[in-house]
Each structure stands twice: as C-alpha cells, then as structure tokens.
Chain A
C-alpha cells in the first residue's frame, strides 16, 4: 500500500488528505508541529475578539481523522532525504514515504529595521501568536498607565484584522501603512478612499498612510519595545511611543527545513504545472509552492486560502490516479473583510487600468458600497469585478466571463448576480441609471431570473 506523507495540516494539506481518502485506499500521514488537528487560521482573530472558542475553528470533530484513516503526527520535520525517500522528525524518528507532499504554508516576514529583536514585537499567524497576544493584551489592559497604544505595521489583510482586534478591546492603535493608498496594490484609488474613510470612522484608530517604519526603540537598558520611529513621505521622522508592535508586513514560504535537501527552491518550493518539484513523487502545494510557469495575470506564489484548496484537490487526483493532473486555477477570485465592509473580487481586475481596458465605477457613499467592472475597450467584454459592501454570485460572474458577456449585458443583469441577504436595499437600478448617464445609453435593469442563474450556459 502506497504511503503518502503530507507535511503541514493547513487547508492545502488537509484538502489533499481528504480528497485522497475519497479516491484512494493508500496510507495517509498528516504531520503538523503547530496543532494536531486542522483549524482555520483565518478564524484566529475571532477567537481573540471573543466571538468563538479555539475549538470552534476546527472544521472536523476529532474522531474524523481516525474514522477516515488519516494518521496524525504532531512533530516538526527537520530533514527530507529524497534519495532514501525518507523524512526525519524532530524526535529523530524516520518516516518512509512513497509520495511526499510539502504543504508547510507561510511564516510572517520579519521587520527589516533596527530593533526588530525587541520584546513586545510579534506577528499574528500561528496559534501561539494568538496565545502570546492574548497574554500581552491582558497585561496591557491591567496596567494603570493612561496612554496605552499598540502599533500595527503593514496594510495587508492581517494588518487590518489586527487593527480591528485592538479596536474590539478598546486599545488605541496606530496603523502604519507604507503605500499612499490603503490596499492600493489591489484596489483603485476610489475604492481605497472608501475603505480609508470607513477605517477612520472608528475612533481610536490612527491610520498613517504613505509612512515608513524606520526603527523600533526601547528605553535605556531595556529589551522591551517603547516606541517606533516612522517617517511620513520624506518629512522629518516622528517617534510614536507604544506598548506593543504588531507586525503584518506579509508572509513568505515556510521552507527552511528543505535547505539541506535536493529539492529545488527559490522563494518557495519550485513546482511545475502538475505541482511536482524537481524530484519525482515530491510535490508542493499552497502558500509554500512557487509555480515555475504561472498563468498570465497570476502570481507564482499565491498565499491565498482558495489557491491552496484548489491545489490540494488537484494533487489528490494526481496521487490517487497515478495520472498527473494539471493545476488549473480557473478565474481568479478572492474575498476579504475590512472592519464591516466585505470585499469580493472575481476575474481580472488590477489596481491600475492596463492596456486596452476600461473601467466602470459606481459608489453609494451613504451605504459604504461600491462596484467596479473592468472591461475591454475593444470588444466591451467584462474581464473582472470588485465589490465592496455588496455580495455577488461567483458562479454567475464566472459564467459571464466564460460567455464573454459585454458590459451592457452585465449592467442590465446585475440582479442575477446579487447575493445580498433578502430585503437588502438593492443597488441595481442606481447602477443602471448611473451607467446610462455616463455612457448615454438607455439600459434597463432586468429582473432576477432563476433560470438564467442556474443555466449551465
């Protein structure tokens, strides 16, 4: 019986194990150092905010693994010997494998500034980060000190989540973002401004855009963080005193343990379009995988939940069927939540207008929601969509992309894509009339049709 060893029990590794079990009878071992059972890392923030308990982040009950004959090992892999097809665990046990899946995910990047070793600096990625932050928060809240402050560095998803977490505990927070626009690498200026306004509407949040972290400071003879030095644009540096520094400047593949192996790595583990590394029967998926030939418009490393899951499903097919299945990620999609504003994106839409693209943007300022469609100037076909504060059906948009639907068609049929809760205030009529005014057309919003929504083509 073939033995498949999976290193990492995150969404990539767990998806592989589950789908492998559905399709094959092989022996499956799932190794993780962090926690014996799969949990949803994205939900750690909810545990901190007291919405959930840690056990609620675990999607499967503990009996699930035994019942599905997935062996769990809680340990750290320190070496991979591809010649002997063997891995070495921290406790010096060796495990032989027939297929090896590397799904070790990411680790937070370290702040590249002086003082980054001080106490009171942490990321928010692992379960133990949650525990450390909880303890630090409690002791911070207990202090008599008047002016408490936490600094969050980095305007990505984890950054904004950390800010929300601090806000939920009434801790004043300074939010240092390098870009001039919040989330400006992904969103347009107007979208970014909408979010900035929303973030700033929460009192106690000091958002600093276009600001660089220069140094982390401590009191004399102390190893504890006391302040940070930042610089807005090219102005005079400023010192902000603080009690904790939360770092969220991005993640990088977590693959140090492969240094001594024959597996080819760059930033991540290099894989072909079949998710195989340079060595047969060794695969890499999820955040730690780096595609040698990514699709156009896609990154070689995508540290995204959904990518990891699709990779896991694909690889499970390959291993179970002994027939290499190509990784085809399909249309790009992603989602996030910035405080109370949900964000969804489908298809191809980047921050800046590219080549022969054109954009349609509608915003409802009072409701804090917006819709942006990216379409081709030449044939008017819709290429991608961003929504803030609105929920859209993924399947409907993907169908429209496949059918090369033109912008007018999409504008008229937005009700088909609307996924907002029942009785929500509609936006379609407003969007249509705004479009008509802008492009001098006379489009009409079409009523939702279940037939169209569920038709395959």
Chain B
C-alpha cells in the first residue's frame, strides 16, 4: 500500500507537470496573436495587387498612403487600416453605382496576405523554437498527463474514470472555459483568419516542405487537427488497451485523417495537382459540385477527371455498399475526419449527448433538413453551372451556396459542432447536422446487415450504455427489452458494448435473412 501511495504521489506530480506544460504551450500560442508588428512596404503592396490582379489604382494608392503613415502596429490595427481603406473606397463606388470598380476581395484576406509578406519578424526567424514552445509543449504536456492519468486509473478493463467528478468533463467551469476557447478559435479561423497570421508563421517550414507554399490558415487548421487527433488517439489506445475493436478503429481513423485528409492533398498541391481528400464524400464534402471546384477539376486533365468520377462513385456506389455490409460506422467512426475528432478529442465528453425522446425528434428534423438543404443547393449550383445561368427557380446560386457555407459549413459543423464538445457532447454535428450521416442513416435503418445485438435477457438496466452513447441513443431502452438496436444515427463506435458490465451488447453484421428471425 505504501508503495502505491508513493507511486500515486509521483504520478500526480507527472500529471501536474503535464498540465502545466500544456497550459504553458497553450498560453504562449494564444499570446502570439498579440505579438509581432506589421507594416507593408509600397513594393509589397504593388506586388500583391499584381499577384491578385486587383486592378484598382485608387485603392492601391490610398492603401499605400495609409500604411505608410503608421510605422508598425499589431495585426488588429494593421487589419483595421486595411478594412477602413477598403470600406471608404468601396463606399464611394457604391454610392456612385460604379459596381464594376468595387473590390470584392475580403479585407481579412488582404490583411492576411499582406501580413504574411512580413518575413523578418521573430516568429519567422525562430519558427522551430517557437514551434516547440507552443505546439511542442502542448503535445509533450498532453502526453505526460495522459500517461500519468492512465497509470493512475490503470485497469485491465475499460476505465471510464470518475468522469462526473471532474470540472472538465461534468460541465464545470473548466468545460465552459474550454468551450469558450474552442469557439473563439473557430470564429478566428472562419471569420478573422488575419488574426491567426502569427500562428501560421510557426508552421511555415512544415508547409513549405509539404506543399511548397507558406502556411495558410487552413494548413494551420489541418495540422493542428492532425496533432490533436494523434495525441488524443494515443489516449484512446491507452484507455481501451484491452479492446481490439477500439484500438483498430482508432488507429484507422487517425490514419485516414493524417494521410488522406492532410498529407495527400498537400503533396498533390506540391505536385501541381488539384488537392483532394479522397475519402471526403459528398454531401459532407458540400463544395464538390461548386463551379470553382468543377472548373478546377475539369482543367486538370486526367487526374481531375478521375477525381470527378471517383467523387460521384464514392457517394453513389461505395458508400451505400459499405453501409449495407458494415453499417455507417465504416465511415463515421473508422474513416471520417469529423468523426475522428469526435472519437479522439471528443471522447471525454461523449456522456453529454442528450438522451431524451425530444432530442431524438429534433435530431430527425434537423439532420434531414440539412440533407435536403445540401441537395437543393447542389441542384441549384449544378443547374446554373451547366446552363450557364445565375438562378434556378428564382434562387441565386451564389446566395444559396453562400448561406450553406456560412450556416452549415462554418457555424453548424465548426463553431457549434466542435466548440460545444464539452457542453453538448462530441457528436452534435454528426447527430444533428451531417448530411452524409443522414443519407447513410437511411440505408442503415432499412437495408443494412449492421445492428447491435442484445444477449438474451441479461440487461440489468444500469444505463452505462445510454450514458456513454455519444449519439444520444437510449441503448438501454432496447437492451432491457431484448430488442436489437437498429438506429439510423448509430455510428458504431462500440462504446456501449465496451462499457456494458454484463456482456449484453455486441456490434454485428448479420445476414438479413438470418437476423430477420430475431425480433427487431
């Protein structure tokens, strides 16, 4: 016993050290936004206007004047000057109805691009050092914390930890802080990428190595996404060390994120090919049929054509066939990037999904609405593309596309879907929003071999399965009646089966003619 107390003390110290390192890394990373002073020389502005083929001398001259006035300032002031200049210029055009002269490029993009030209700042000069002080410390700290915690709660089985006793996982103040941070991050990413320019400097060398270009905010997002999934994937491997299904699934989903969603598209860019995530199926990949994407693919020769055919084939043939054989889990918890983040970063929050009947009603309403919205948008976009029109049935392709990207693409899947992990659980987007999940869910419900089978009458209604179902399925309500679970929303994560203390639940692919003999 004394030995154990001694060990516990050391482990608690390691855990604390891990937390401190992580928080240090996170604080430095966050504070970086406010550092570095920016200015843009006349030459840089001229070059930029040429690069972007912005043909507006009034704007160019005014911008140069204004930026010359300030000596150097942080990114917020720098961006403000650019926004204000653009606004004054555009306002005068708009009031004079000179629509052709209005500059449509967003001021955030101009700020980001001009700020990015600043290559003499200290982050660029010490990018590797700063990388280790931010992302590196974050990774190191997390791993130490995860390791110590795993040994502390060491168990041959599945440990769930005292999840409702920790402020980070019981919707306590840490959970709220995390939520605010995540939301803040997504808001910056989607709507103020220029504020994130200092973060992109850190990983410029990695970006240049992979795709030959400096890091954009999307490269930053992709890179952090992979790192988070990797670290939290290690946590999953430790946590579920005695469950092969969980281990293989976790390795698979992290592999698809890093290789298919991140590395391959970057390398394609490097090779001058159109970047494409080969596993990202329409309609989750909602901009697949957008005009710019079609143009891009059609102008890239055979590889472009291949991607076009593959994308259609993936959605229409591969997805339904795989769902028939394995259920939608093959995608949602084995391959998908959104699902992958939910299963790794989101795992500590899975118990927060709402299990009420009301939530199930809302789920069906919202998810199928998003599916219809995405199909309708695609119809409008394709019609206008093929027939070279601006509108379809009075709907402007530009506006429909824009509202989907804004409402669903940015707000629903990003800000709400991930930002609220610690409060509403880790599958908000997958359960209430994802149009691909909706499509696969219909197949899973009506024509799939996949189901969760219930072992006889052994359920003791304890509720572990329902509590830890990230999709908010009341698994217990089926298990205690010895009814197999065939639900459109089940992503087959297998946690209900893992946490069941009586061995009642199992994920199975059963031939339809056999399983029909068992009550559903």
Contacts and interface: CB of A to CB of B under 8 A. Distances in A.
B378 interface: no
B165 A421 contact: no
Interface string B461-490: 111101100000000110010000000000
A305 B456 CA distance: 14
B466 A393 contact: no
A340 B458 contact: no
Given A335-B502, A454-B514, A391 B455 contact: yes
Interface string A86-102: 00000000000000000
Contacts of B480: 59
A340 B157 contact: yes
Given A53-B164, A340-B155, A421 B498 contact: yes
B162 interface: yes
B388 interface: no
B90 to A, nearest CB: 54
B117 interface: no
B466 to A, nearest CB: 7
A203 B497 CA distance: 28
Interface residues of A, number: 54
Nearest to B164: A50
Given A52-B463, A342-B503, A423-B244, A203 B458 contact: no
A336 B515 CA distance: 28
Nearest to B479: A59
A425 interface: yes
Contact of A394 (B3, B456, B461, B467): B456
Interface string A115-133: 0000000000000000000
Contacts of B243: 421, 424
Given A42-B462, A59-B480, A335-B503, A51 B3 contact: no
Interface stretch (B129-137, B181-189, B504-512): B504-512
B507 A57 contact: no
Contact of A52 (B4, B8, B356, B464): B464
B165 A422 contact: no
Interface in A372-417: 391-395, 398
A40 interface: yes
B503 A368 contact: no
Contacts of B244: 421-425
Contact of A203 (B3, B161, B351, B510): B3
A46 B501 CA distance: 11
| Interface SS of chain B | loop
Interface string A34-62: 00000010110010011111001111010
A43 B497 CA distance: 16
Contacts, number: 140
Given A393-B456, A424-B244, A51 B163 contact: yes
Contacts of B156: 198, 339-340, 368
A51 B153 CA distance: 13
| Residue of B457, B462, B477, B501 contacting most chain A CB atoms (<10 Å) | B462
Nearest to B518: A454
Interface in B188-241: none
Contacts of B461: 11, 40, 42-43, 59
A50 B162 contact: yes
Contacts of A337: 501-502
A194 to B, nearest CB: 13
Contact of B162 (A49, A310, A339): A49
B494 interface: yes
Contact of A419 (B463, B498, B506): B506
B457 to A, nearest CB: 6
A424 B245 CA distance: 7
A394 B458 CA distance: 8
Interface string A334-362: 01110110101000000000000000000
A423 B456 contact: no
B69 interface: no
Nearest to B497: A421
Sort chain B's interface into a size bin: 35 or more
B1 interface: yes
Contact of B457 (A50, A306, A336): A306
Contact of A42 (B242, B460, B514, B518): B460
A170 interface: yes
A335 B356 contact: no
Contacts of A204: 1, 4
A206 B1 CA distance: 9
Given A50-B162, A340-B157, A421-B507, A309 B457 contact: yes
A422 B463 contact: no
Contact of A170 (B8, B165, B357): B8
A451 B463 contact: no
Given A168-B162, A344-B458, A391 B503 contact: yes
B155 A59 contact: no
Interface string A416-433: 000111111100000000
Interface string A318-337: 00000000000000010111
B106 interface: no
Given A61-B356, A368-B156, A421 B517 contact: no
B167 interface: no
Contact of A51 (B157, B160, B507): B160
B520 interface: no
Contact of B507 (A61, A392, A422): A422
Given A50-B163, A340-B157, A425-B244, A419 B455 contact: yes
A450 interface: yes
Given A43-B464, A51-B162, A51-B163, A393 B510 contact: no
Contact of A421 (B8, B161, B494, B514): B494
Contact of B511 (A56, A306, A450): A450
Contact of A423 (B248, B510, B514): B248
Contact of A172 (B1, B163, B463, B515): B1
Contacts of B4: 203-204
A50 to B, nearest CB: 3
Contacts of B501: 337, 342
Contacts of A392: 503
B15 to A, nearest CB: 13
A203 B463 contact: no
Given A337-B502, A421-B244, A59 B463 contact: yes
Interface string A154-182: 00000000000000101010000000000
Contacts of B357: 61
A268 to B, nearest CB: 21
Contacts of B166: 50
A421 B8 CA distance: 32
B507 to A, nearest CB: 6
A453 interface: yes
A145 interface: no
B334 to A, nearest CB: 12
27 contacts: A11-B461, A42-B462, A43-B461, A43-B462, A50-B162, A50-B165, A51-B161, A51-B467, A53-B164, A58-B463, A59-B463, A61-B356, A61-B357, A168-B162, A203-B3, A306-B458, A340-B157, A391-B455, A392-B503, A394-B458, A395-B455, A395-B456, A421-B243, A421-B244, A421-B245, A425-B244, A454-B514
The 8 A-B residue pairs whose C-beta atoms are closest, nearest first, are A394-B456, A50-B162, A340-B157, A391-B503, A423-B244, A43-B462, A50-B165, A450-B514
Given A59-B476, A309-B457, A342-B502, 8 more contacts: A40-B463, A53-B164, A198-B156, A336-B502, A340-B156, A395-B455, A424-B243, A456-B517
